[in-house]
Amino acid sequence: MKDILENMNKKTIKQMLITIMLFVVTIVAYFAINILVEKLNIRDIDMTESKVYSLTNESKEKIKNINEKIEIQIINFDQYLYASNILNSVNVIKEYSKINNNITIEQITDSEDTSASIVLKCNGNTKTLSIDDLYTYEFSSETYTNESLDITEETMTNAIIEITTENNKYIYLYTTHSPYADYPESYFSTLIGKLDEKLNEINYLDLTTTQNIPEDCDCLIIPTLKEDISETERDAIINYINNGGNILLLQESYLLLQETYGVSELKLPNFQSVIDLYGFSFSEGIVMEQSSENMLNNIPEFISVEINSDSTIGKYLDENAKMLLIDSAKINFKDNDTLKSLNVSYEVIAQASDSAFLRKDLTITDYSKLDSDESAPNAILSALITKKVGDDKTSELIVFSNSIFATDSSVPVKDILTEQSSVGTAIYFNKNEEVLEKSIKYLTDNKDLLILRKKYYDNIPTIKLIQNGTTVQILFGLPILIILAGFIVWRIRKNKK
């Protein structure tokens, strides 16, 4: 019996030593493989459907041929790296130095200023980004909450292009006949501030004193008119169009303007002759919704409209991105033959649902569709219109049948079901600010600053090699090695039985 126990103890000790040795070998092999992988500089593998952790080909194409030296400092991000989204953003930023050797990236800890920031420097130009600039929020109509979306790549690519671009874009705001004429800086402060950040120069234009639109005008913004323009102004705008000028038009419902300013009948023949060149007009009345999914707080005239993701502007926004239009008019286009004769084509940016209707009697307080209302299924609320004005020249106009959404106006919102009230700033609702920014970038031919927004089909990586410190963590490698070691031990034991 004693001999048997001794033999069993020896056998047990031997098997235990073999297990320990295999475990040690596995751990050593794991770290050796990771160190080798790092020395070989093997690229990360991102197999998420929406490529959350890597740069798109579009960014690579825009960045790879930049010849200027660019220094990127990631300052005080160490304290936030415990958060997976911040870590992913840092890893995405590091990808830029792999695309272009002129880009250097340095992580810095600043003990004096503890705020986290990203500083880009090139040829004396400096741009500073905060953590908040790397993310945006999209209102979910399903959860009624703002959901965070990672826009690190879009922000960084735009920032790099901005600091390496010398040519400013010139934007003119034409408010002479607008309700906003007296205080344009107040109404459009957010929009103007946003444009100033993007190397644009904003000027105010009064065609009653200046007979021509400046030749350097890259985009003419026309907020809603409450009175007609003069013939001289009309001719100046038409001349601008015929020379290939681009326009952003934000026009309220004529009927709403009549009610607001006590005008018996608002007639704008000179202005209409301008937009006739693009083959469209505005219907009287305001568009109202019946679909609760397409309205804010159950208010039919507060239309939460989804941007057409296939449109030129929509493809640069989040999937299912929405904007909020308030008391919007309906845009009517001429028939196809007329548009063809005008050398005009258009694409819809946003439209109401198939249950929308048009109301012309604004004294009615009932929110349901009445016999006096007109059906307006899929009413067009915004469009991009292209007009050919020469063999190699076009004029483009983006029209929104609303202007309030672009302003800093305070908008009182009362849920007609719960009677809960709140106040918001018009431009901050949904994606209003971003839609405007993308539209102006497009019209100013600033397409280098238009980066396709990643569509987030998923947020969980199936395979992702994340560089971290001195090793590359192979997420699935260690479990496989442990299973393999267990199998070897099992085979050894089985063979000795």
What DSSP assignment string belongs to 139-179?
EETTTTEEEEEE-HHHHHHHHHHHHT----EEEEEE-TTST
Provide the CA 333 distance to its chain's centre, in angstroms: 28
Is the pLDDT at 160 greater than 80? The verdict is yes
**pLDDT tens per residue across span 211-257:** 899 999 999 999 999 899 999 999 999 999 999 999 999 999 887 88
Distance CA 272, CA 225 (A): 11
Pairing of strands 466-468, 471-473: antiparallel
> Helices 477-496 & 2-40, crossing angle to 10 degrees?
150
> Which residues on adjacent β-strands are paired with residue 422?
413
Q: Among candidates 222, 173, 166, which has minimal Cα distance to 199?
A: 166
Helix (H) or strand (E) holding 222: strand 219-222
DSSP state, residue 328: -
Query: How far is 66 from 160, CA to CA, in rounded Å?
Result: 9
Q: What CATH number has the domain spanning 51-166?
A: 3.40.30.10
Cα–Cα distance, 314 to 136 (Å, whole number): 16
For 117-126, the pLDDT digits (tens) are 999 999 888 8
How would you classify the pairing of strands 421-425 and 322-326?
A: unpaired
Q: How far apart are the first and last CA of the chain?
A: 19
Q: Closest by alpha carbon to 407, among 424, 382, 383?
A: 424
List the chain domain ranges. Answer: 2-43+475-496, 51-166, 169-449
Tokens describing residue 398: 């983006």
The predicted-structure confidence for 188-197, as pLDDT tens digits, reads as follows: 988 888 777 6
Across all residues in the chain, what is the average pLDDT?
82
Place of tokens 């970038």: 441
Across 83-119, b (16+ Cβ under 10 Å) vs e yields: eebbbbbbbbbbbbeebbebbebeeeeeeeeeebbbb
Is 169-449 the same fold as 51-166? no
pTM: 0.70
Instruction: Give tens-digit pLDDT for 390-439.
Output: 888 999 999 999 999 999 998 877 665 666 777 788 998 888 988 998 89
Instruction: List 393's β-bridge partners, or say none.
Output: 390
- pLDDT (0 to 100) of residue 45: 60
Inform me whether the pLDDT recorded for 320 exceeds 70.
yes
For residue 207, what pLDDT is reported?
Answer: 93
Q: Where does the pLDDT of residue 21 fall: very low under 50, low under 70, confident under 90, or very high at 90 and above?
A: confident
Q: Given pLDDT bands bounded at 50, 70 and 90, which one contains residue 466? A: very low
Per-residue pLDDT, 465:
38
**Torsion angle, alpha carbons of 434, 436, 438, 444, to 10:** -150
- From 3.40.640.10, 2.60.40.10, 3.40.50.880, 3.40.50.170, which CATH number describes the 169-449 domain? 3.40.50.880
DSSP state of 371: T
